[in-house]
Amino acid sequence: MDSDGSSGAVRGARERLVVIGGDAAGMSAASQARRMRGPGELEIVAFERGHHSSYSACGIPYWVGGDVDGRDRLIARTPEEHRARDIDLRTRTEVTEIDVAGGRVRARDLDAGTESWTSYDKLVIATGARPLRPDMPGVDAPGVHGVQTLDDGEELIATLEGVRGRRAVVVGAGYIGVEMAEALIKRGYEVTVVNRGTEPMSTLDPDMGRLVRDAMVGMGITMVGEATVTKVLTGSDGRVRAVATEDAEYPADVVVLGIGVRPETSLARAAGLPLGADGGLLTDRAMRVRGHENIWAGGDCVEVLDLVSGQQRHIPLGTHANKHGQVIGTNAGGGYATFPGVVGTAVSKVCDLEIARTGLREKDARRAGFRFETAVIESTSRAGYYPGASAMTVKMLAERRTGRLLGVQIVGREGAGKRVDVAAVALTAGLTVEQMTGLDLGYAPPFSPVWDPVLVAARKAAAKVRDGAS
Amino acid sequence: MDSDGSSGAVRGARERLVVIGGDAAGMSAASQARRMRGPGELEIVAFERGHHSSYSACGIPYWVGGDVDGRDRLIARTPEEHRARDIDLRTRTEVTEIDVAGGRVRARDLDAGTESWTSYDKLVIATGARPLRPDMPGVDAPGVHGVQTLDDGEELIATLEGVRGRRAVVVGAGYIGVEMAEALIKRGYEVTVVNRGTEPMSTLDPDMGRLVRDAMVGMGITMVGEATVTKVLTGSDGRVRAVATEDAEYPADVVVLGIGVRPETSLARAAGLPLGADGGLLTDRAMRVRGHENIWAGGDCVEVLDLVSGQQRHIPLGTHANKHGQVIGTNAGGGYATFPGVVGTAVSKVCDLEIARTGLREKDARRAGFRFETAVIESTSRAGYYPGASAMTVKMLAERRTGRLLGVQIVGREGAGKRVDVAAVALTAGLTVEQMTGLDLGYAPPFSPVWDPVLVAARKAAAKVRDGAS
């Protein structure tokens, strides 16, 4: 029976949209659907197992590091604000089953412990991702923290404020790992980053990751590469006291896990919905779950089309989740919108070091079957004579013979990161590196050298393509 | 007779490339031609009437303002450095005639006062632009300065260091005018900017120029719009004491003229070479002067193809000059390269205000025959909760019905200006604003809101296109 005693059949013309997951993708979809259709036409029910809705998980490292003043600054829209816009958002309510044939979901009120079914005409799955948490001794000890949710952030801050020692170990050296390293440095910790790869930031090629490592070492961070954490050691008080790898122990008063996420698709899998190789839901361009006319999915629980390789990938990023929500809400509201795919753009920073990438790394390009040329150049963010000009390294990959741009990676200081956007648009448009050499980018001494670093890289890559073709 | 007694016929296999103008376009062309062909194959003679070569005229305001420490910092390559690379650069030598039929140029040694002919196999015209200098009483008085050349900069600095008063008037409110306003403020002057238009920065639409004016007023600059300077008033010592418009007088201890430039094509005109409506040389995509197999032209003396409007325009910018030189040098050296055209990108700043544009303004779009929609949005440079997030206004023009991007203007603080590059690439690729809403731009809280301001503008523009089409 429906929780409200009604069914799709007897509700008449008023449809019900059910949303599973109250963060970026889910609530963007709900909000956009509400903009498209009023409450007289469309009822919207959203289930969220946590306390919060529509918050910036990407902002957690900056809250922990003290750049952001308080948790509430990260909340774009509270549950109350959603409810005021006629979205029936039910927090602390976890969906436990999707009954596709029956057009209904079962949800549990986590506080009351009760369960009930809610029918839907249209369903949005926005269940996000779950952090990888290695199955090793001590991983649940006090002082070991993930940083996925606002609640995680709150618990970590409580630990940091309560603990005596100043030694922190970050496990993992991807975006979350390096951002948390910055946050802990800002709080005055001695930081050790332990990661499996030779270099940090495996989203870059190793030669570029090396630049990140050198810079982090220069910031006083201890970088331990090619190391797998095997257990968390605890003291007599039961709290973490060190992290152990196969070869060594690293004393730790606090441990932060930043080793990536996987799509949270256990509900979808149980319901028989189509999943890809990375475990994410598969959708069409309208973000409709393949084969299901009235079910959409978006955000960190889906795989997206990589426009450069042509392959499906899991790329959990808030910016994609928001776009997905917008597209889903438009379609679920009776309009038409598509999400074309991604080119793999990401920017991050550790203190004043900016790190950016878009397109394919060398190993991605090989895996996708491309032969390619690479060019690496050094340039500056501004005219060399202008105050504040800082060095940056740009790496560019171009397909052999055709010269089609395949990817760009940038490591530098202020003004380096967002330069990757030029390459992101060029990848989307399918430009060649030769075409890029002629791009009319903004120039004035405070903004760029007369040849923007991206153009310098394009010139070198174009020359390599010419030489390779002869 | 040749200055060196030789002629093309008797020099045998060794060709001679003659370059007129020793700045960005000319010396880039010479340098690139030298990279392509050694001195045994190609002799390169370059004539420059000034003392300097290859300097950044764009940097002069920052030198005057004290951000750049000394003139020599603006010189990318000295005459001696060029000569060391087998480029026969003759400074203080002005070309006075091009004899196209005879394949030779006449040059005057400005110090010796002698003239001689030099024959060429290939010719590069890079004569640059000349500043507009209004023909009015007092314009040549001591204390009135242009800022076109290094010598101009040196003279202005000498005046600023010698003069007692602290009142400066800048005539003109384009790039040079606003940059000089900043420079003079940094030197502690009370600055008045007088310009003809209602708003400063006529390269923007007036509604965006208004934002620049408001910001400049907020910096303590006196902005006088809709005013034409009619004369410069001098004191009993013969020095400037005020600037007069039809309605008012503005006391001035120093006056800077920043009212734009025109292509310097008097030599080309006298030689019968083809000029466009703006007075610039007309070339093909290889930067060859139309109808002349062995003559190239580039830099501030040519007109360029505007890829958005399809029209030829005069856009004097160092970044174009460098690209032209690169293309010319490659072609003159026996290779193949093209300059595809421009989309009209420019960035500038006044103190901490960043100003950027690309593509067409409203009046350009109308003149080119487009009907269009406009969208104006406000957003921030970083996530709203991240420290240093600053407001920016983005204006976007899109063709009616098709939604093709036509232009973008941005006014904001740190992080605003170079965002225009995304639109510059999108214009080059012919993207629609709808396509732009899906662009995979770099996102992290220190770099951007989750929807980059350019995407927010694209969303609004796309909505207007949809509404306009229904």
A376 bridge partner residues = A395
**Cβ atoms A380, A416 nearer than 8 A:** no
Inspect the interface and report whether the beta carbons of A338 and B438 lie closer than 8 Å.
yes
How high is the pLDDT of residue B260? 87
375-414 of A, contacting B, C-beta below 8 A: 383, 385-387
Contact A418 B420 (CB under 8 A): no
Residues B83 and B107 in one domain: yes
Asked whether A157 and A181 are in contact (CB, 8 A), the reply is no
Q: What percent of chain A has pLDDT over 70?
A: 97
pLDDT of amino acid A133: 85
Note whether B323 and B372 are within 8 A (CB).
Answer: no
Which pTM value belongs to this model? Answer: 0.95
CA triplet A383, B436, B174: central angle to 5 degrees?
40
pLDDT of residue B13: 76
Domain carrying residue B73: 8-130+262-332
**What would the pLDDT profile of A373-423 be if each residue is shown by its tens digit?**
999 999 999 999 999 999 999 999 999 999 999 999 999 999 999 999 999
> In the annotation, is A58 catalytic?
yes
- Give the Cα separation of A213 and A306 in Å (integer): 28
Length of chain B equals: 470
A469 touches chain B (CB under 8 A): no
For residue B46, count other CB atoms closer than 10 A to its CB.
27
Query: Cα separation of A127 and A19, whole Å?
Result: 9
Q: Rounded distance, CA B410 to CA B388, Å?
A: 18
The nearest CA of chain A is from the CA of B185 a distance in Å of: 17
- From A440's Cα to the closest Cα of chain B, the distance in A is 6
Same-domain status, B244 and B272: no
Contact list, A203 vs chain B (CB under 8 Å): none
Is B428 close to A429, i.e. CB distance below 8 A?
Answer: yes
How far CA B450 is from CA of A27, A319, B41, B346, in Å, comes to 14, 5, 56, 26
Which among B59, B417, B439 has the least Cβ separation from residue A428?
A: B439
Q: Compute the mean pLDDT over every residue in chain A, rounded to the nearest whole number.
A: 95
User: Do residues A360 and A464 share a domain?
Assistant: yes
Asked whether residue B138 is assigned to any structural domain, the reply reads no
With beta carbons under 8 A apart, name residues in chain A contacting B438. 323, 338-341
- DSSP E strand boundaries for A216-279: 222-224, 229-234, 240-245, 249-251, 254-257, 261-263
Tell me the residues of chain B between 294 and 313 that have a Cβ less than 8 Å away from chain A.
none
Which domain-ending residue is among A332, A367, A391?
A332
With CB atoms and an 8 Å threshold, state whether B340 touches A59.
no
> Which residue, among A466, A459, A464, has the nearest Cα to A441 in the 3D structure?
A459
Q: CA of B139, closest CA in chain A: separation in Å? A: 28
Residue B2 lies in a domain: no
Contact A347 B442 (CB under 8 A): yes
User: Is the Cβ–Cβ distance between B302 and B289 less than 8 Å?
Assistant: no
B253 and B276 within one domain: no
Report CB contact under 8 Å: B442, A318: no
Of the three residues A299, A332, A365, the one that is the final residue of a domain is A332
Instruction: Provide the 3-class DSSP secondary structure of residue A182.
Output: helix
> Are A440 and B386 within 8 A, CB to CB?
no
Count of H helices and E strands in chain A?
12, 25
A424/A2 Cα distance (integer angstroms): 47
pLDDT value, residue A7:
45
Reading the block at residue A337, the tokens are: 């919108």
DSSP string of B357-414?
EEE--HHHHHHTT--EEEEEEEEESS-TTSTT--EEEEEEEEETTT-BEEEEEEEEST
pLDDT at A5: 44
**Cβ proximity of A384 and A360 under 8 Å:** no
What residue ranges of chain B have pLDDT lower than 50?
1-2, 5-10
- Answer with the one of B236, B259, B282 that is the final residue of a domain: B259
Looking at this protein, which amino acid is placed at residue B98?
I
Q: What is the pLDDT of residue A348?
A: 96
Q: Does A66 lie in the same domain as A47?
A: yes
Nearest by CB to A322, from B319, B339, B450: name it: B450
Residue A108 has pLDDT above 90, yes or no: yes
Q: Are A377 and A393 in contact (CB under 8 A)?
A: yes
Residues 6 or more apart from B416 whose CB is under 8 A from it? B354, B356, B381, B390, B392, B410, B453
Question: Chain B: residue nearest A351 by CA?
Answer: B446
B169 and B272 assigned to the same domain:
no
Q: Looking at this protein, which amino acid is placed at residue A63?
A: W
Q: Judge whether B379 lies within some domain.
A: yes
pLDDT of residue B25: 97
pLDDT at B470: 54
User: What is the spatial distance between Cα A325 and Cα B439, in angstroms, rounded to a whole number?
Assistant: 15
Residue type, position A98, single letter? I
Amino acid letter for position B315: I
The confidence score (pLDDT) of residue B12 equals 60
Give the 3-state secondary structure of residue B234: strand
Residue from the list B73, B383, B424 with its beta carbon closest to the beta carbon of A441:
B424
Q: The domain that contains A420 carries what CATH number?
A: 3.30.390.30
**B246 and B267 together in one domain:** no
Q: Is B28 in a helix, a strand, or coil?
A: helix
The predicted structure's pLDDT at residue A260: 87
Q: Which entry of A58, A219, A376, A391 is annotated as an active-site residue?
A: A58
ipTM value, please give it. 0.94
Total structural domains within chain A: 3
Residue A440 touches partner B, C-beta closer than 8 Å:
yes
Question: Do A224 and A276 have their domain in common?
Answer: no
Which residue from A minimizes the CA distance to B428?
A439
CB atoms within 10 A of CB B220: 10
Q: Would you say A46 and A27 are in contact if contact means Cβ atoms under 8 Å apart?
A: yes
Residue A371 covered by a domain: yes
Listed residue (B165, B153, B311) closest to B240, CA to CA: B165
Chain B residues in contact with A440 by the CB 8 A cut-off are 319-320, 342-345, 358, 424, 428
B27 is a domain residue = yes
- Contact predicate B408/B342, CB 8 Å: no
Q: Does the pLDDT value for residue A8 go beyond 60?
A: no
DSSP conformational letter for A404: B
**Residue B218 sits in the same domain as residue B304:** no
In this prediction, residue B6 carries a pLDDT of 46
Read off φ and ψ for residue A56, nearest 5 degrees.
-95, 95
B150 and B210 assigned to the same domain: yes
Per the domain annotation, does A138 fall within a domain? no
Residue B469: its pLDDT value, please? 65
For B342, nearest residue in chain A (alpha carbons): A440
Tell me the average pLDDT across A139-161: 95
Q: Which pairs with CB-CB distance under 8 Å and at least 24 residues apart come from A290-295?
A: A292/A100, A294/A103, A294/A120, A294/A121, A294/A122, A294/A123, A295/A100, A295/A122, A295/A123, A295/A124, A295/A125
- Is B244 an 8 Å CB contact of chain A? no
Distance between CA atoms of residues A365 and A311, nearest Å: 11
User: Which residues of A fall within a CB distance of 8 Å from B415?
Assistant: 418
A211 inside 8 A of chain B by CB: no
Alpha helices in B171-205 (DSSP H): 175-186
Phi, psi angles (nearest 5°) of residue B400: -60, 145
Rg (CA), chain B: 24
B349/A447 CB distance under 8 A: yes
Q: Which of residues 42-81 of B touch A (CB under 8 A)?
A: 56, 58-59, 62, 67-68, 73-74
Distance CA B176, CA B172 (A): 8
- pLDDT band per the 50, 70, 90 thresholds, residue A469: low
Residues B242 and B272 in one domain: no
Residues B92 and B148 in one domain: no
A340/B58 CB distance under 8 A: no
Question: What is the C-alpha separation between A145 and B297, in angstroms, rounded?
Answer: 64
- Nearest chain A residue to B338, by CA: A438
| Interchain CB distance below 8 Å, B441 and A450 | no
pLDDT of residue B133: 85
Identify whether the C-beta of residue B397 lies closer than 8 Å to the C-beta of residue B359.
yes
Cβ(A126)–Cβ(A105) under 8 Å?
no
Return the SS3 of B149: coil
Is A424's CB within 8 Å of B439's CB? yes
CATH code of residue B205: 3.50.50.60
Within a domain: B149: yes
CA B322 to chain CA mean position, Å: 11
The chain A residue lying nearest B448, using CA atoms, is A418
pLDDT exceeding 90 applies to what percent of chain A? Answer: 94
Give contacts of A356 with chain B, Cβ < 8 Å: 442
In a domain, B345, yes or no: no
